[in-house]
Structure 1
Amino acid sequence: MASTPARLRDGLSARALAAAIDMTAVARDSRSLYLGLAQELHRLVEEGAVAADARLPAERVLASVLGVSRVTVASAYRELREHGIAVSVHGAGTFVVPRGDSQPWGGILRGTQPGVLEFVNAAPPASALLGPAYDAAARALSTTGLHVGYVPTGVGRLREAIARYYSARGLPTSADQILVTAGASDALHAVIDTFVEQGNRVLTEHPTYPGAIDMVRAVGGKCVPVAIDPDDPDTFVENMDRAARQHDPVLAYLMPDHSNPSGAVLPETSRRRLAATLHRHAVVTVVDEASADLRLDGDADVEPFGAPVPDRACITVGSLSKTVWGGLR
C-alpha cells in the first residue's frame, strides 16, 4: 500500500483489516495460531498497510470476521503490546504505536545476539540435551512413522513419560490425566476458555503473569488480585480464603514455584493449606509450573501443588520452553 487513508488513524474496520490479513500465512505458523496472527498484523504495520496510531478493531468483532476465537485475537493483540507494536487505552481501544529505531519485533522473536541476555520472553538458549533428543526421535521414525500421527491428547509414550515425571515428584499421575498442547499458553487458553464465562471471577496472585490476566479478560472474566508476601505466606493463604468467600470464583490461577514476576516460592505447608482451602470453596486451581524446574543449585525440592492428595480440583500446566527450548512449540 503506497499510502494509508487518514481515516485509518481513527479506526480500522474489521473487514478491511481481515481482507489484508493472509490467513494462509497465519495458519502456517507452527507455534500457535495467535502467534501467526500477531506476526501477520506486525507485517501489515511494518509495510504501512496499517497506519501508525490506527485503532485496531475490537477483539470480538475481528474474531467474528476472521472466523477464529476471541481468545486468539486477544492473545495476538497481547503479543503486539508486549513487543511495543501496540498499546491499549482503557475505554478507547488498542492502537498501533509509531515505530522508532528500536529492534524489529521479528528480531526479538528470533532471539538476540550470542552473549546477550534477553529478558523480554524469559527464553534461554536451547538445552544441551536437545540435539541428542532430536537424534533419538529421528532414529525412532521408522516405527513412529507407521502411525497416522493424529493424536489430539498427545503421543502415548510422551504422556506416560510426563506422568512418571509428576509421580516421581510426589504427585501420583497416570497417562490418561495428561493432555499435551503446543505450549503452556495454549494449555492456559484451553483451561480458561473451558471454565470461565462472562462475569466469572478468577483469583490471581498480585503481581502475576500479565498474559493470564489478558486471557481471563478476553473471555469476559474478572481477575481478583490477592497480594503476595514471600515473607508471610500464611497471610497470603488467609487472604485467598477471604477472597474465595467474598467473590465466589470459578478458578484460581497460581504460580507457587518461582512466581512471575516476584520469584516467590510458596512453602510446602502453605501450599497444602491453600490447596485444601480452595478445595473447600469448590474452586478449580490452575497451577502454572512453567518456571518450576528453574531451581538454583542448592535449592530444596518442593512438592507439587496438590500433593500428597491428588484428587483435589487442581489442573497443573507445565512447560519445556524454559528448561529445554521455546522452539519446541
Structure 2
Amino acid sequence: MEANAPLTAATLARLLGPWRVAGGSDASRHPARAALADRITALILDGRLPVGARLPAERPLSEALELSRTTVTAAYTSLVERGYASARRGSGTYTALPERLLARPAGGWQEGQGADLVDLTCAAPLPPLAALRAATAWAAERLSVVTQESYLPYGLSALREAVAQRYTERGLPTDPSQILVTAGAQGAISLVGRLLIRTGDRILVEGPTYPNAIDSLTAARARLTPVPLDPATGWADGAAGGGAARIPLAQAATRLSPRLVYTIPHFHNPTGLVMPPELAGPLARAARKAGAWLLADETITDAALDVPVPAPFAAAVGPADAERLLVCGSLGKSFWGGLRVGWVRAPSRVVHELAAARASLDLASPVIEQLIAVAVLREGFGIEEERRAEWRASRELLEAALRDAMPDWSWHTPEGGLSLWVRLAGGEESTSLVHRAATHGLLLQSGPRFGADPGTYERYLRLPYTEAPEKLREAVRRLAAARTALGPVHAAERRRDLVA
C-alpha cells in the first residue's frame, strides 16, 4: 500500500493545525520538538497522513512553521526512533508505523455464539419479522412465475425492473438493462473487482472505509491507496478552490491515474459523513479523465435519520462521465442483512460484461430471495419510517449511555447510517480494548479494521446502534468494564509512544 502523493510543506502545515502544545516527558526541555513529533504521530495514527508518505524536507517545513531547521530535524529523528517514520538515505523521511502495530490483528469476523454474547461487529439491522413474513408469503404466491428458470446471471427480470423503477422515482431515469442483480453489495464489489482489476492496479479508497471492500479489493491483488477524509469537511478541502480542486479524492485520481476509485458518498461507513451533491460531478469527471472507473457504494443511502434520503449519486453526474460510473446497492442495510440481494447499476454494455464475469464466481443469485426482494421493493410493507424511528431512538440511547460511561470519548452525531465512529481518549488503543472486551462477552471491530494502511485509526472504534436497546445498554456496560480492566497502563503505553 502506498501514500497518495508527496506532502508539501504547506499541506503538512495545514494538516498540523494548532500543534504548538507542550507534551511528552521532555517537553520542558524540547517543547517544540516534542509537540511537532506528537502531532505528526497523531496524524499518522488517525489516518490523516498515509503510511509511506514522504515528509517535506526540513528546510521548507521549518520555514512554513516558522521554526528552526534544527527543531524540525530533531522531531523527524524522534519519529524515526519511535517507529513512526523511516529515513532513506538520499531520498528523505517517510511516515511509518511501529512493528508492534503492524503485527497485531485488526479485527474482522469472529466466531462465537451464545445467549450471553453481545455482538456489535456488524452494523446491520435486525430482521423486521412481520414484514419478512409478509414478503415471503407474497413471493410464495408467485413461485410459479420463476420455477421455470434456475440460473439467471443478470437477475430476475421483475427485480431488475423494481430496482430500475426505484432509481427512476428518486430522480435518476434507469432502464432494467442497466441493472445486474448480485449477492448483496459485497457481491457487487467483488464482481467489479473480478472484471476490472488486474494484479498491481492502483485503487483509491477513502480513509477510513468499509472493511469488507478493503478485503475484496485486496483479494484482487490491487494496490490500495487511501485518501483521508477530513473529520470536519469530509471529501472537501476547505483550503482549495472550486470544482475538482476542492476534492482530495479527485486530485489523487488526477495525479495517480488509478484503475478504480471506490467511494461511499451517503452516510459513509464508518464516519457517517455525507458527500455534498455538488462534489459528485467533479469527482466523476476527474475519474473519467484519469481513465479510472468510479464505484459509488450506496448501500446505506436509505438509512437517512435527520435529513431526506439523498438523491442518487449518479443523478449529479453528466452523461459522458457516467460511462465510467458504477453504483452498487442492496437491501442489507435498509431491510435485513440476511436477505443477500444487491445490485450494480452501470451502462448496459458493462452489465453484459459483469454477467459474463460472474460465471466463475457464483453463476447467479438465489431466485427465491430475489422474488422476496421484489416484494420488499414493490410493497414496502410500511416499515421504512418505522425503522428510521427505531434507529433514531437507538442512536440517542447509545450516545447517552456512552456519555455517562465514557465522558472523555468524542464523536460526531451522524445524520444517518447505522453506527457511531467514536474517538477514544488520550493514549487508548481500540485494538487492545476490543481484545479485552471479547473477554467480557462483547465483540467489536477495532479502528484499524477500517484502514487500508494496517495500524491506522487505533484511536477510533465503530459502535453500531442496530441492536435492541437492552443489548446496547449491556454493550456499553461491558465496554466500560473492559476499559477499566485495561487500567491506566493501557493509556500510559501509548503516551510513551507519543513522547518525543
Tell me the distance in 2 between the aligned counterparts of 1:283 and 1:253: 10
C-alpha distance after superposition, 1:79-117 (max 9, x if no partner): x95134xxxxxxxxxxxxxxxxxxxx1528xxx77xx97
Equivalent in the alignment of 1:323: 334
Q: Find 2:313's aligned residue among 278, 295, 305.
A: 305
**Sequence identity (%):** 36
- 1:286 equivalent to 2:287? Answer no
C-alpha distance after superposition, 1:52-77 (max 9, x if no partner): xxxxxxxxxxxxxxxxxxxxxxxxxx
Partner SS for 1:306: helix
Shift of 1:273: 2.2
Q: What code does the residue aligned with 2:109 have?
A: H
Distance 1:117 1:316, change over 3 A: farther
Does the 8 A contact of 1:203 with 1:224 survive in 2?
Answer: yes
Distance 1:240 1:205, change over 3 A: same
Tell me the distance in 2 between the aligned counterparts of 1:162 and 1:117: 34
Higher relative contact order (CA 8 A, sep 6+): 2
Distance 1:131 1:174, change over 3 A: same
Tell me the distance in 1 between the aligned counterparts of 2:213 and 2:202: 13
Shift of 1:227: 1.1
Equivalent in the alignment of 1:195: 196
Tell me the distance in 1 between the aligned counterparts of 2:194 and 2:158: 27
C-alpha distance after superposition, 1:186-217 (max 9, x if no partner): 11111012111111100111111122122222
Tell me the distance in 2 between the aligned counterparts of 1:164 and 1:173: 7
Equivalent in the alignment of 1:82: 108
Tell me the distance in 1 between the aligned counterparts of 2:338 and 2:174: 27
CA RMSD of aligned residues (A): 2.4
Q: Find 2:269's aligned residue among 260, 276, 281.
A: 260
Equivalent in the alignment of 1:160: 161
Shift of 1:283: 1.6
Q: Find 1:142's aligned residue among 141, 144, 151.
A: 144
Q: Find 1:107's aligned residue among 107, 113, 117.
A: 113
Tell me the distance in 1 between the aligned counterparts of 2:253 and 2:206: 13
Moved more, 150-159 or 124-133: 124-133
Shift of 1:245: 2.4
Does the 8 A contact of 1:271 with 1:305 survive in 2?
Answer: yes
Runs of at least 4 residues off by over 6 Å: none
Return 5+ residue gaps in structure 1 as ranges: 1-79, 85-104
Tell me the distance in 2 between the aligned counterparts of 1:263 and 1:118: 20
Does the 8 A contact of 2:230 with 2:236 survive in 1?
Answer: no
Tell me the distance in 2 between the aligned counterparts of 1:143 and 1:219: 37
Equivalent in the alignment of 2:186: 185
Shift of 1:137: 0.4
Structure number with bigger Rg: 2
Q: What code does the residue aligned with 2:131 have?
A: L
Shift of 1:230: 5.2
Partner SS for 2:224: strand
Equivalent in the alignment of 1:49: none
TM-score by length of 2: 0.42
Distance 1:234 1:123, change over 3 A: closer
- 1:218 equivalent to 2:213? Answer no
Shift of 1:118: 4.1
Distance 1:138 1:219, change over 3 A: same
Shift of 1:300: 2.5
Tell me the distance in 2 between the aligned counterparts of 1:165 and 1:272: 21
Q: What code does the residue aligned with 1:151 have?
A: L
Distance 1:210 1:144, change over 3 A: closer
Does the 8 A contact of 1:230 with 1:265 survive in 2?
Answer: no
Moved more, 117-126 or 149-158: 117-126
Distance 1:243 1:317, change over 3 A: same
Q: What code does the residue aligned with 1:186 have?
A: G
Distance 1:143 1:244, change over 3 A: closer
Tell me the distance in 1 between the aligned counterparts of 2:144 and 2:199: 48
Q: What code does the residue aligned with 1:302 have?
A: P
Shift of 1:238: 2.9
- 1:125 equivalent to 2:126? Answer yes
Q: What code does the residue aligned with 1:137 have?
A: A
Distance 1:274 1:117, change over 3 A: farther
